[in-house]
A and B are shown apart, each in its own frame.
Chain A
Amino acid sequence: MSDSHDDLIDSLAARLTPTRPLVDSRLWLGTTFGLVLAILYVSTIFGIRPELKGLWVGQWPDAFTPIGKPLLFLMLGLTSVWTVTRLSRPDGEMKIVYWLPVFAALGLTVFNMTMELARDGWQVSTQQLNGGVVACFSTILCGGLAGLAVLWRFWLRRAATSYPTTLAAMSGLMCASLMASAYALHCNMDAPVYIVLIYGAAVALFTGFSTVAGRRLLSW
């Protein structure tokens, strides 16, 4: 059996080529580039909401939500990028801290939605779901899919994770959240019920899709 090992080792050494190690900064650079493209797409096709345009001339919006909504998904997306970099190598450790931003974002939005429902009731609150649902859903899903395809091509297929399901989920969460943050620059639907049921559902749906599709693809 040692002979077969020697043969294998000789064979592997004979076909060795220089390899470019996975470098986290490249993923961050690619993510930044992708996010800029997504923002350009949203601003060109849909336009940026007036409250955010006002920021350029020093006008602070009356409410924080126009800023907080994109920031919420941006924070979620960026922490997902960080998690993806941590889990892409065999020795990447699974830590609860990776999920804390997810729980925090979920807790914050669900809490606000519950308060809104308690104050206004279901009938009044759900009236705020009318508007831009198709655009929101299709932008997050299609944009997320494009991002995930690029992420697969340049990063995930080179990864070797010990946690394929979590890495697949985090990759989906990353792409959908960043696309949601770009779309939120346009969207003026600020009701918590909208953020949870429309944005949240689109991001959750995409994350679920990525998890199911990716867990096998990431096996090695």
Chain B
Amino acid sequence: MNMESATVRQLNSGVTFSVMATYSAEEWRSLMRDAQGGDARAYRALLLSLRPWLLSYFKRRLRGGDVEDLVQMTLLSLHEKRHTYDPQAAFMPWIAAVARHKLIDYVRKAERRVHIELTEDLGLADGLSTELAHRDVSVLLAQLPAEQARFISLQRIEGLTTDEIATRTGKNPSAVKVSIHRGLKKLQALVGIKNSGVADE
């Protein structure tokens, strides 16, 4: 059994805490397959095992929201849409997509302040593969024009300064800075945030 663990650290309202979530993607996959076949015991084990992972997933992304509510909504969605899981496919991409979808839906409806982390480390801390963690970021960046997304990616993911980005792309540093600022504001607007400050650097 391929056991994986994720240590989760979250700064929320000035309080730092950590959660240890231990899970097995292969075990979840097996339980989900059995659940699709009607095995209630496997299903219960799966949901119980998923709960701490979902809690940590949401806690690191949602600032000031009711994470417990979100976990419940995600479990309900998982139940209603469990037939959309392809038994031949990996389980993690599916559950991560369900969680991300419910998070965005929740934030849009509640107009909550959400912590948008444009770093793959966040997904990696959730135990997602590099590819999945990258996808979490690219799903957000795909909402922006290509050039703007590239600027943000260079700054937030590759860690370049505004001047370095300007040099690399041949653009004016001021234009790069404005573009990044507007792009981040647009990303926040896309997930339902209003009048929130955006730090350029």
Contact = CB atoms under 8 A, between A and B. Distances in A.
Interface of A: 1, 4-5, 8-10, 12-14, 16-22, 88-94, 158-160, 162, 219-220
B64 interface: no
Contacts of B23: none
Interface residues on B, range: 35 or more
B87 to A, nearest CB: 6
Contacts, number: 89
A159 B84 contact: yes
B186 interface: no
B81 interface: yes
Interface string B151-176: 00000000000000000000000000
The DSSP consensus for interface residues of chain B is helix
Contact of A13 (B43, B83, B93, B142): B43
A91 B72 contact: no
A19 B79 CA distance: 10
The DSSP consensus for interface residues of chain A is loop
B75 A16 contact: no
Nearest to A90: B97
Contacts of B135: 93
Contact of B82 (A5, A19, A159, A219): A19
B83 A158 contact: yes
Nearest to B99: A90
Given A14-B40, A20-B83, A160-B84, A9 B51 contact: yes
